[in-house]
Amino acid sequence: MGRVEDAKISNDNMTVEVEPLSPTARLFHTPRLNCCVIATLGFNTAINVEAFKLGLENTLAKHPRFSSLPVRDDNRSMRWIPTRVNIDNHVFNPEIDPNMASSDQFLEDYLSNLTKTTLDLAKPLWEFHILNIKTSDSNGVAILKVHHSVGDGMSLISLLLACARKTSDLTSLPSIPKLKKASSRSSSSFTWVLLGIWSILVLILNTFVDLMLFAVMIFFLKDSKTPIKGGRGVERTPKRLVHRTVSLDDI
C-alpha cells in the first residue's frame, strides 16, 4: 500500500482534496482480512464486452470510490487518493470451454475461486468478470467483486441502479415500484395512548422472556445438532458460495 504526505494532491494541474477512510473502511483493511462483496448480475442476452467497458467508463469508473486508492500517510492514517482508471485492468473476460458439463456448476466454482483471491491494492479495489455462458437463469453473467471498504451491499445496489437506464428511454433512470401507503384511519387520542401503553408492556414482557430463554440456553441447554451446524475447527476450513433456487412455499 502506498503513502501520501499531504492532505491534498495535484491532478492535471488541479488541487484535489483527499478524503480519509471511515473507521469501518479502515477496519476492512486490517491485515489478513480479505473482506469483499461479490455480486452476480444475470442478463437476458450475451454481454457485449466492449460496450460493457464503455458503459463502465462513463458511469461507475467516474465515481470517487471506484477511481481512488486507499493510501497511508506519515501519520499512519488512510486516505482515498484519486487515480486514473484503466478499464482493461478491471474487466476480465476469461476463455470458457463451450463443451462444459454444467454451466451452473462452472459459475458456482468460479464464484468460489473468487472468494479465495485478494484484490490488487495498486489499483482501485473493484473488478468485473464477464462470463458469456447460458445458465438456468440467464444467457450472460457479470460478476462484480469489490472491496468492502468501498461500500456495503445497499450502497452498491443504489450505485448500480443510478448507473442504469430504461430501455424505453435511455435518459431516464429505472423506476422502482413503491409500496402503497396504508390508508390512515382517524381515531381518538385516547385510543392511541392505550395502544402505546400496551405496546410498551408487550415489549417489556417479550424482552424479559428472551432474557430468560437466553440464560437457560447458556447454563442448562445446548444447541441441537443440525446439518448446517459446524463442528470444532470449522472456522479454519475453506468456504465456498453455493447458489440454490428454492420455492417460497418451502421457507
Phi first, then psi: give them for residue 61, nearest 5 degrees: -70, -15
Based on the residue annotation, tell me whether 148 is a catalytic residue of this protein.
yes
Strand partners, 147: 36
Kindly write down the DSSP assignment for every residue of 180-226, as one continuous string. Answer: PPPPP----HHHHHHHHHHHHHHHHHHHHHHHHHHHHHHHT--PPP-
Neighbours of 198 (CB within 10 A): 10
Strand partners, 92: 129
Residue 110, C-alpha cell as written in the block: 468460479
Residue 66, C-alpha cell as written in the block: 471506484
The rounded distance, in Å, linking the Cα atoms of 37 and 27 is 15
Catalytic residue among 90, 147, 148, 243: 148
- Which residues are known catalytic residues? 148
